[in-house]
Amino acid sequence: MSERKDSFETLGGLPISPIPNAEDVTSQPEIPGEAPYTRGVHDTMYRGRLWTMRQYAGFSSADETNARFRTLLSRGQSGLSVAFDLPTQLGMDSDDPLSFGEVGRVGVAIDSIVDMRELFDEIKLDQVSTSMTINSPAIILLAMYVAVGEEQGIDTQVLRGTVQNDILKEYIARGTHVFPPEPSMRLITDLIEYCAENHPMWNTISISGYHIREAGATAVEEVAFTLSNALAYVDAAQTRGMDVDDFAPRLSFFFGCHNDFFEEVAKFRAARRLWYRLMNERYQPKNPKSSMLRFHTQTAGVTLTAQQPLNNVARVAYQAMSAVLGGTQSLHTNSFDEAIGLPTDESATIALRTQQILAEETGVPDVVDPMAGSYHVEALTDLIEKEAYGLIREIDDMGGALAALRTGFQQRRIHESAWKQMVDVENLTRKVIGVNHVRMDDEPEVEGQAIDPAIAEKQHQKLNQLRSTRDGERATAALSSLTMAAGTDENLFPLILDAVKSECTVGEIMNALKEEYGTWMAPSGF
């Protein structure tokens, strides 16, 4: 019988064998919970404990987002994940002229410790794990979080969570960077060093493949660029004088989960194995957790369609299952309406229920690495590891991730992959239901979350009140001390913490650093 395609390959262009067999598999059988962790980082995986259901949320003001957080926690969510608005991500206050039209739109506006207090009102920080998707101002937002924890009277040594704090992928794929590479890496290592001594349960960086994949990278490129960036951070911390075992156990990773079901399962397995290999080849850690890749997964935002948006419920469910079969430690499932606007309360609940159904009704979590022994999955795992390792070595030959991105190498590769995917969709080589295949004339109408246009003015009023009532001399002195220290080797976290407690704003602290560091534009790749 003839086949429906001339050739079969994964979304990332890897060949698919028609009938995989043992000859396609090169690796040896491995044990869950044991090095190199292909089959999972725990011997019992979800039989022992389910993954953390960490839904990403944030919009408008701190008090509105706080209400959404408490709703999600009451409905069974087990961790918080904060989405910040674009001005906050770029280290600008809401009343900055460049913030016009963006305040509270794609996340919550956080200008000062006042907003951070409201964001976690009635949420005890020692009883919840919090992830914050923030990069350039990551050290500032974590300082605010620590300060609020102190105000709550808790032992900040037990704070659990993650700051993304991954600036290299911003240069490569996303663009919310502010400072040049060297001072950016200095701020990252300052945070890593301070937390290792003062907040030992905090994950100091989440090296993100998600945004690289969202920009158009293939699965292989996502793994290679993410792990290459991670090596740059390890090198930076070691240059600071830190022992690898003092910080590497708290490194975490963040991957996307795309539509190609088996390729994604294999990607996660390959990433764990490859990270173990790289860490032991280069750094010889003594603590097994230093070479153990732990990761959060978010279903692929780029796969969501505004056409026939309810189809996104099915896409998200399949992607979530792929992530779980791949052994993720925590998971965010996108809401079906995110191609239209921010999720509504209803759509966010459906997204959470998708995880809960997967956890409690399907039986999938009851087996440790149920994909083990699948010739197809094992062969894809081997192939992704091989291809990603080769790409990492290519980046090494350029001098590492930072040197490569200065030439635009990673950016150019991502652009080329994104272009190919777009062409495949446009010429119907790749079908997208509701977009270029089985379209409908009568589309269902779905409205996204409405954002109060008055949020910007409310934030302006809060900032005016803050600046008129705070101790101005203390704030000025804190900012001046920070600028002076930025030109030294002193760890800046304590000074930023003092500035936060002095009620300095995010924008003021960033501007104090800009006086010493300036700003920087990353190469486009062309």
pLDDT tens-place string over residues 319-332: 999 999 999 999 99
Among residues 260, 311, 294, which one has the least CA distance to residue 14?
A: 260
For position 426, what pLDDT does the model report? Answer: 96
Domain hosting 124: range is 22-406
CATH of the domain at 299: 3.20.20.240
Q: Return the H-helix or E-strand segment holding 423.
A: helix 409-426
Q: Which two tokens stand for residue 214?
A: 């969202």
- Amino acid letter, residue 491: N
Tell me the three state secondary structure of residue 205: strand
- Distance between CA 290 and CA 234 in Å, rounded? 11
- Distance between CA 316 and CA 211 in Å, rounded? 17
Tell me the three state secondary structure of residue 52: strand
Tell me the three state secondary structure of residue 425: helix
For position 357, what pLDDT does the model report? Answer: 98
Q: Which two tokens stand for residue 299?
A: 């279903």
Give yes or no for a contact between 267 and 261, defined as CB atoms under 8 angstroms apart.
Answer: no
Residue 332 contacts by C-beta under 8 Å, 6 or more apart in sequence?
54, 55, 56, 81, 296, 297, 298, 299
- Distance between CA 184 and CA 181 in Å, rounded? 5
CA distances to 175, 250, 499, 522 from 515, in Å: 21, 31, 16, 19
For position 113, what pLDDT does the model report? Answer: 98
CA torsion sign, 391 to 392 to 396 to 398?
A: positive
pLDDT tens-place string over residues 64-82: 999 989 998 998 887 898 9
CA torsion sign, 163 to 330 to 354 to 76?
A: negative
- Amino acid letter, residue 414: I
Q: Which two tokens stand for residue 30?
A: 């491995």
- Greatest Cα pair distance, the chain, in angstroms, is 82
CA distances to 141, 206, 227, 252, 295 from 203, in Å: 14, 7, 17, 6, 11
Considering the domain boundaries, does residue 382 fall inside one? yes
Domains identified in the chain, total number: 1
Q: Return the H-helix or E-strand segment holding 254.
A: strand 251-257
For position 324, what pLDDT does the model report? Answer: 98
C-alpha triplet 103, 202, 184: angle, nearest 5° = 60
pLDDT tens-place string over residues 296-321: 999 999 999 999 999 999 999 999 99
Considering the domain boundaries, does residue 81 fall inside one? yes
CA atoms within a 13 Å half-sphere pointing along the CA-CB vector of 247: 29
Residue 462 contacts by C-beta under 8 Å, 6 or more apart in sequence?
111, 112, 114, 115
- Distance between CA 447 and CA 338 in Å, rounded? 10
| Cα–chain center distance at 381 | 22
Considering the domain boundaries, does residue 187 fall inside one? yes
Q: In what order do the strands lie in the sheet with 202-203?
A: 202-203, 160-163, 129-133, 79-83, 52-57, 330-332, 295-299, 251-257, 205-208
Considering the domain boundaries, does residue 469 fall inside one? no
Q: Are strands 129-133 and 330-332 parallel, antiparallel or unpaired?
A: unpaired
Among residues 167, 250, 170, 244, which one has the least CA distance to residue 204?
A: 250
Q: Which two tokens stand for residue 258?
A: 């795309």
For position 317, what pLDDT does the model report? Answer: 98
**Weakly modelled stretches of the chain, pLDDT under 50:** none
Q: Return the H-helix or E-strand segment holding 435.
A: none
Residue 166 contacts by C-beta under 8 Å, 6 or more apart in sequence?
135, 205, 206, 207, 208, 229, 254
Residue 284 contacts by C-beta under 8 Å, 6 or more apart in sequence?
none
- Distance between CA 479 and CA 216 in Å, rounded? 40
Helices and strands (DSSP H and E) totals, the chain: 19, 9
Residue located via tokens 């026939």:
308
Radius of gyration from C-alpha coordinates of the chain? 23
Considering the domain boundaries, does residue 74 fall inside one? yes
For position 2, what pLDDT does the model report? Answer: 84
- Distance between CA 229 and CA 402 in Å, rounded? 8
For position 525, what pLDDT does the model report? Answer: 79
Give yes or no for a contact between 448 and 106, defined as CB atoms under 8 angstroms apart.
Answer: no
Tell me the three state secondary structure of residue 15: strand
- Distance between CA 387 and CA 389 in Å, rounded? 5
Considering the domain boundaries, does residue 522 fall inside one? no
Give yes or no for a contact between 505 and 475, defined as CB atoms under 8 angstroms apart.
Answer: no
CA torsion sign, 71 to 337 to 308 to 301?
A: negative
Considering the domain boundaries, does residue 424 fall inside one? no
Among residues 88, 163, 160, which one has the least CA distance to residue 124?
A: 160
For position 363, what pLDDT does the model report? Answer: 97
Residue located via tokens 């493949």:
209
Considering the domain boundaries, does residue 420 fall inside one? no
CA distances to 228, 403, 477 from 399, in Å: 11, 5, 40
